[in-house]
Amino acid sequence: MGFLTVRDEDPQSLPGRRDVLTRALGLAAGLGGVAAIGAAAGPAAASPAKASSPAGTASVRANQTNWRFCTKCYGMFFRGYPTDGACPAGSGHDAAGYDFNLPYNVPETSTAQRNWRFCTKCYGMFYYGYPDNGRCPAGNAHAMQGYDFVLPHDIPETAGTQRNWRFCPKCYGLYYYGYPTNGRCPAGNAHGMAGYDFVLPHL
């Protein structure tokens, strides 16, 4: 299905570039230190460069932006591509509201669940923790790629987070449950609700 050819546009690449940038800035800062110290002691130049590497390690724990609410299906989808995937209500998803900034590659805890993944077919976020992968609006089951998102749940809502994001047991998608209706489910009718109350950080 051309996965290899779109590799460069994988959602992974966005924070990846940011990580590279962070490392580059860290290195530049280190070199700045080197320049200042290096004028007095040449060989000492190596240590400030080494000192910049822990910052690079820390950036492995990260968040990804560009996750949005779809006004048509109420699902969470990735808007970082030129197109907007496949919406169960027809055509691509339509974004509105917050720009969610979702954590990945952090440990699972009693208030954060891992195994939430990007679907390469519909661009939606779905739960990958079952043997099958739910129902994709692009046909058959969702297909996983990219980061392992670890989503906070059942914690107090703050100015920087939104609660009422839920798992749909029919399609395995993540959708917003805060309206009287529950959007459009690729498995038919509206989404169903089960499990945790996810409380998601946004910009």
Residues in touch with Zn ion (CB under 5 A): 70, 72-73, 87, 93, 119, 121-122, 136, 142, 168, 170-171, 173, 185, 191
Q: For residues 21 and 27, give the distance between their C-alpha atoms in angstroms, rounded to a whole number.
A: 10
Rounded least distance, CB 60 to Zn ion, Å: 27
Shortest Cβ 171–Zn ion spacing (Å): 3
Sheet with 174-176, strands from edge to edge, namely 174-176, 161-167, 194-201
Contact 165, 76 (CB under 8 A): yes
- Are β-strands 76-78 and 112-119 bridged in parallel, bridged antiparallel, or unpaired? unpaired
Nearer to Zn ion, 11 or 48 (CB): 11
- Token pair recorded at residue 161: 């987070």
- Of 121 and 202, the one with the shorter C-beta distance to Zn ion is 121
- Distance of closest approach, residue 55 Cβ to Zn ion, in angstroms: 35
Tokens describing residue 173: 């998608």
Nearest residue (CB) to Zn ion, 34 versus 86: 86
Closest approach of Zn ion to the CB of residue 82, in Å: 17
Helix (H, G, I), strand (E, B) or coil at 22: helix
CB-wise, 62 or 87, nearer to Zn ion?
87
- In the complex with Zn ion, the residue whose CB is nearer, 34 or 73, is 73
- Shortest Å, Cβ 87 to Zn ion: 3
Shortest Cβ distance from residue 140 to Zn ion (Å)? 9
**Residue 200 CB-density burial (10 A; 0-12 exposed, 13-18 middle, 19+ buried):** buried
d(CA 182, CA 175): 8
Residue 47: CB atoms within 10 Å: 12
Can you tell me which residue has the tokens 């998803």? 93
Question: By C-beta, is 30 or 134 nearer to Zn ion?
Answer: 134
